[in-house]
Structure 1
Amino acid sequence: MSTTSKHSLASKALMLLLPIITVIVTYFVIKSGQKGGVIFIVGSIGIALTVFGLLFPEFCFYYTIGVTYLLADISRMVETDLPIGVVIDGLIGVTFLSVLVKKFIKKESFWLHCNHPIVYAYLIYFLYATTEIFNPNASSIEFSIQVYRRYFTLQLFLYSAIQILANMEAISRFFKVFLSFALVAAAYGCYQEWVGYPKYELDYIYSNPLLVALFGLNNGNFRKFSLLSDPTAFGILMAVVSLICVVFLFYAKRKRMKVFLGITLLLSLLSMGYSGTRTAYGIFTGGLVVYIMMTLTNPKTLLFAAVSFLGFLVLMFGPIYGNNTINRIRTTFKFSEDASYQVRDINRHNIQPYIYSHPFGGGIGSTGVLNMRENAGHPLAGFPTDSGLLRGALELGWVGLLIQCIAYFVVLQQAVKAYYNTRSKAVRPVLLACVLGLFAYILAHYTQLAIGPVPGAFLFYSLIAIIIRQRQIDKETENLTFSF
C-alpha cells in the first residue's frame, strides 16, 4: 500500500472517529452535568498527553510540572476533591518509566550520573523513611504506605531530573520553562489582588471556616494563592523564583531575556507580598544576603547591596502605614508582633518531651489536622506541625530528623562547593541560582512544610539534580559564557 493510500485511510478513519467521540463526550456531559463533563474532557486530554509523554521523557517531565500548576485550581473550579496526589504520583511514575525506556534503548547503566554524595545522603534518608512504614507507634501500616508514596515518588522525580538535565542546553530550557510557568502563576496572583477572586474561588474559601481563618487578613481581605493549593506554597515559590531571577538578571546578555526576567521578577515579588506568607519574606531577604556574600568581589554587588539595604530601610521604617501588605512584611522581622510565630514556638516547646521519648517518632503521617481521622486516638493526631523539620522530628523521630538535617547539609555543602570549584563561566550563574534556591527552601522548611508541596518540590529537586550534574557539565562548557 502506498504512503498516499495510508494517509487517505488514516484521514477517513479520523473523520469517522471524531463524530463518534463528539457524541460520546456530549452524552457524558448531559448525563453527568457540567462538572462531570469538565472532568471527563480534562481527563481524556490528560490520558492522551500521558501516553505521548511515555515516548518522550523530557516532554513528560515538563508536562508533569505544568499539570501541578493547574490541578488545585481545576479542583476548586469543579467543586470536587480531585485525587490530585494520585494524579501527580502517576505522572511522576510515567516520567520515570519513560526515562528507563530511553536508557534501555541507549543501553545505559541505571546508576549512570548518580555516583554523588547528595544521592547517597538521600538514599540513606529514603531507606530510613521506608523502615518507618513498620513503626509500631503508627496508626496503621496501610495509612503509612499511603503517605510514604510521596516520599517514594519524589525520589523517582529526582532520579528523572538527574537523567534529563544532562547538559547546559537542557538546563537552560528547564529554567525558561519553569520561569514561564511561574510567570503565569505570578500574573494570576496579581490579578486576584487587583481585580478580585473569581466566584468559584471565594466559594472554595467560604466552604471551610478553617480556610477563612488561615487565608484571612486584618483588613477583611484574603491572602492570595494564585493557581496553587494555598498561599504558603505560592509565597515560598514566588520568593525562590524571585531569587533566581535576580541572579540571571545580573548575567543575562540578551535584551529580550532581560525583559522577560525583569517582568517575572516584578510580578513574583508583588505576588509574594500578596500571598501574605511571612516565611517567603524572610527567605527572600536571607537569599539576598547569601547572594551578596557569595559575589562580594563583584563591583555590581556592592551597588546592589547598598540599594537593597536602602530599600529594606524604607520598607521597614518609611512613613507607610495604611498598606496591609507592607505592614505584614514588617511583622516578619519583629517576632514580638508575629502572633503565628509565637503560637508555633509554644507548640514546639510543648511537644519536645514526646520527641525526646520517641527516637523513631510516631509514624509517617501521624501529625496534621488533615490526617486526624486516620490517626484517631494517636497522641499526635491533629497536632499542627507547620514546620517541616518539626514534622520530621515527630513522625520520624529525632533519629530521622538528624538524618534529614545531614542530607540538607550535604546538599548545601555540595552546592556551595560546586559553585566555587567550577571553571565554566556559563555554569557559574546557574550554580549560584541553585545555591540560593536550595538555601531558601531549606530555610523555609524550618518554619513551614516547604519541601514537599508541588510544584515547589519539583524546583527543589531539579536544582539538586543540576548540582549533581555539575562536574560533567563543567567539562562541556569550560570555554563558553553564560547565554541564558
Structure 2
Amino acid sequence: MIVGLIVNGITRYVSAPLGTSLDIVLVISIFSALFNVSYDNVKKLNNSLIWVLLLWTGFTVLEILNPEAVSFEAWFYAVRAISFYIIFLIILTFLVLKSEKLIDVFINLWMIGALVCALYGMKQMYIGLDHVEKAWLETAADTHILFGKIRYFSFCSDAGQFGAFMSFSSLVAIILSLKSNSTFKSGFYFVVAVLCFWGMAISGTRGAMFVFVGGLFYLLLTRNFRVFTLGFIAMAAVFCFLRFTFIGQSNYQIQRMRSAVNPQSDPSFKVRLENQKKLKVYLASRPIGGGIGTIGYWGSRFSPGTFLAETPPDSHYVRIWAETGIVGLMIHIFTLLFILGRGFYLVYNLRDPLLKQKMMALYAGVFGILVASYGNQVLAQFPTVVFWSISIGVIFLAPSFDTEETSKNIIPVKP
C-alpha cells in the first residue's frame, strides 16, 4: 500500500523502472502468501468474485491477439492497471486477511497515508515546490497551470490522481468518523476527512467531486429513512449551491468545483463529446477495439501518430471501449456491476454494527471511484487502484468476520 502511494512521486526523482519492480514485489507476495497460509485461506479463492475477475482478466490476455494491437510491450505496460493489479491485489487480500484486526490495520494505514498525502499537497501550496517538482511542472504546464493557478499534485502521478485519491479517502474517513469504538478514532477520521477534502480542492480536479456520490449508497445501507432523507437533502443543497448560485465565485477552488456541475459551459466537455463521436465511427468496425495500450499515454509512447494515440480518452470507460471494443466494455461493466451488486448484498446483511460501518465506508468509496471514472482515468492508476482493489477484497471477506454480538463501546454520531 505504501509503495503504491508514493511510487509515482519517486519517479520524478529517479529514472528507475519502479512500476515494473512493483509488479515483481506483488507476484512474489502472492506466491509467498500461498506457501505460508492455511488451506482454508486458499479455499477462499474459490468464490464468485475471483471467477468473474478471471473472466475480465482472461479477455484482456486474449487482447494480445487483437490484429489492431501495436506491440506486446504496449499491451504489457497498459494491461497491468486495468486488470492484473486488480485481481492480484484482491487475491493477496483473500490470502493474508485473517482477522478483523487486519481490516483495522488496512484502514489506519490508509488514513495515515492519505493524511500525509494531503499535508504534502498543502506544503506545495503554502510553502512551495522543490526544484524537481518545478521542473516537472514545466512539462505539465498545459494541464497543471490553468489561468495562472497551479493544480497541486502532492506525491501522486498528477493532480487528477491526487484529487481522486483525496476525495476517495475523504468520503471513507467521514463515514468512519460517524461510528467508532473510541472518541479519538472518530476525531482522527474527521480530521483526515476535512484535510483530504481540502486536498481535493487544491488539486483542481473537478471530476473528483463525483466520488462523493458514493455517499448515497452509505445512506441506503444505513436502512434509516431519516438519515437517508437528511443526507440526500444535504447533498442536494451542495449541488444547488454550486449549480445555481455565484456565492464564493472569487475563490478559485470553488470556481473549479462549480464548473464540474456546469459542463455545458466548459469548452473541454464539448471537445470530449466530439472525441467520443469520432471514436464511435472508428470502433464501429472493431468490436474488440484497437488493442490494449493504443490510446492515451501508452498510445503516444508506442504508436505515436495513430488515430487512437492522438485521441485523448479522458475517461476510464472510454479508454476501455477504445482499447477492447464494445465486447470488452460489456465484460468490464458486467464485472463492475457484479462487484457493486454482490458487495451491496454482503454489506447490507452484516450484523456487527461496527464492522458494517467500516464496510459501508469502503463500499461508498468503491462506488464513488467508479462514478468519478466516467469523467477521468481515475481507476487504473496508483494509488487509487491499490486501495480500491483491497477495499473490494475486504468487503467480500467481511461476512467471515461477522458475528451477531453487538460491538461494545461504539460511539455513534447522531445525524
Give yes or no for the alignment of 1:277 onto 2:209: no
In structure 2, what is the equivalent of residue 13 of structure 1?
Answer: none
- Encode CA deviations 1:27-61: one digit per residue, 9 max, x unaligned: xxxxxxxxxxxxxxxxxxxxxxxxxxxxxxxxxxx
Query: Which residue identity lines up with residue 141 of structure 1 in the other structure?
Result: F
Q: Secondary structure in 2 aligned to 1:426? A: helix
Give yes or no for the alignment of 1:164 onto 2:90: no
Give yes or no for the alignment of 1:481 onto 2:410: no
Give the TM-score taking structure 2 as reference length: 0.92
1:393 deviates by 1.1
User: Partners of 2:323 and 2:232 in 1: how far apart?
Assistant: 41
Give yes or no for the alignment of 1:186 onto 2:112: no
- Encode CA deviations 1:119-151: one digit per residue, 9 max, x unaligned: 211110011111111211111234323433443
In structure 1, what is the equivalent of residue 63 of structure 2?
Answer: 132
1:153 deviates by 4.1
Give yes or no for the alignment of 1:148 onto 2:148: no
Give yes or no for the alignment of 1:212 onto 2:144: no
Of residues 22, 30, 33 in structure 2, which corresponds to 1:99? 33
Aligned length, in residue pairs: 408
Query: Which residue identity lines up with residue 355 of structure 2 in the other structure?
Result: V
1:91 deviates by 2.0
Query: Which residue identity lines up with residue 247 of structure 2 in the other structure?
Result: P
Q: Secondary structure in 2 aligned to 1:450? A: coil
User: Partners of 2:122 and 2:305 in 1: how far apart?
Assistant: 43
1:443 deviates by 1.1
User: Partners of 2:21 and 2:120 in 1: how far apart?
Assistant: 23
Residues 304/213 of structure 1: CA separation in 2 closer, same or farther (3 Å cut):
same
Q: Secondary structure in 1 aligned to 2:161? A: helix
1:253 deviates by 3.4
User: Partners of 2:304 and 2:118 in 1: how far apart?
Assistant: 39
Q: Secondary structure in 1 aligned to 2:382? A: coil
Query: Which residue identity lines up with residue 28 of structure 2 in the other structure?
Result: V
Kindly name which structure, 1 or 2, has the bigger radius of gyration based on alpha carbons: 1
Please say if residues 34 and 95 of structure 2, whose CA atoms lie closer than 8 Å, have aligned partners that are also in contact: no
Query: Which residue identity lines up with residue 130 of structure 1 in the other structure?
Result: V
Please say if residues 93 and 153 of structure 1, whose CA atoms lie closer than 8 Å, have aligned partners that are also in contact: no
User: Partners of 2:155 and 2:275 in 1: how far apart?
Assistant: 30
- Encode CA deviations 1:214-235: one digit per residue, 9 max, x unaligned: 11122x1210111111111111
Structure 2 counterparts to residues 303-318 of structure 1, below 5 A: 303-316=230-243, 317=245
User: Partners of 1:153 and 1:311 in 2: how far apart?
Assistant: 35
Percentage of identical aligned residues: 26
**Which runs of no fewer than 5 residues in structure 2 stay unpaired?**
none
Structure 2 counterparts to residues 254-273 of structure 1, below 5 A: 254-273=182-201
Structure 2 counterparts to residues 70-81 of structure 1, below 5 A: 70-76=6-12, 78=13, 80-81=14-15
Q: Secondary structure in 2 aligned to 1:427? A: helix
- Encode CA deviations 1:323-381: one digit per residue, 9 max, x unaligned: 11101100110111222222111111111022221011111101114432421464422
Of residues 149, 152, 176 in structure 2, which corresponds to 1:248? 176
1:418 deviates by 0.9
Query: Which residue identity lines up with residue 479 of structure 1 in the other structure?
Result: E
Residues 137/312 of structure 1: CA separation in 2 closer, same or farther (3 Å cut):
closer
User: Partners of 2:311 and 2:246 in 1: how far apart?
Assistant: 39
Please say if residues 287 and 436 of structure 1, whose CA atoms lie closer than 8 Å, have aligned partners that are also in contact: yes
Residues 312/368 of structure 1: CA separation in 2 closer, same or farther (3 Å cut):
closer
User: Partners of 2:181 and 2:160 in 1: how far apart?
Assistant: 33
Please say if residues 157 and 458 of structure 1, whose CA atoms lie closer than 8 Å, have aligned partners that are also in contact: yes
- Encode CA deviations 1:7-43: one digit per residue, 9 max, x unaligned: xxxxxxxxxxxxxxxxxxxxxxxxxxxxxxxxxxxxx
User: Partners of 2:304 and 2:229 in 1: how far apart?
Assistant: 56
User: Partners of 1:443 and 1:304 in 2: how far apart?
Assistant: 18
Of residues 6, 11, 16 in structure 2, which corresponds to 1:82? 16
Q: Give the CA RMSD over aligned residues.
A: 2.2
Query: Which residue identity lines up with residue 295 of structure 1 in the other structure?
Result: T
In structure 1, what is the equivalent of residue 214 of structure 2?
Answer: 287
Residues 131/326 of structure 1: CA separation in 2 closer, same or farther (3 Å cut):
same
In structure 2, what is the equivalent of residue 367 of structure 1?
Answer: 295
Query: Which residue identity lines up with residue 123 of structure 1 in the other structure?
Result: L
Please say if residues 4 and 386 of structure 2, whose CA atoms lie closer than 8 Å, have aligned partners that are also in contact: no
In structure 2, what is the equivalent of residue 455 of structure 1?
Answer: 383
More divergent stretch after superposition (135-144 vs 433-442): 135-144
Please say if residues 50 and 87 of structure 2, whose CA atoms lie closer than 8 Å, have aligned partners that are also in contact: no
Residues 355/130 of structure 1: CA separation in 2 closer, same or farther (3 Å cut):
same
1:467 deviates by 2.1
In structure 2, what is the equivalent of residue 4 of structure 1?
Answer: none
Q: Secondary structure in 2 aligned to 1:102? A: coil
Structure 2 counterparts to residues 50-65 of structure 1, below 5 A: 65=1
More divergent stretch after superposition (126-135 vs 161-170): 161-170
- Encode CA deviations 1:245-273: one digit per residue, 9 max, x unaligned: 12111112312112211110111000011
User: Partners of 1:84 and 1:382 in 2: how far apart?
Assistant: 27
User: Partners of 2:119 and 2:101 in 1: how far apart?
Assistant: 27
User: Partners of 1:214 and 1:370 in 2: how far apart?
Assistant: 18
Q: Secondary structure in 1 aligned to 2:353? A: coil
Q: Secondary structure in 2 aligned to 1:69? A: helix
Structure 2 counterparts to residues 414-429 of structure 1, below 5 A: 414-429=342-357
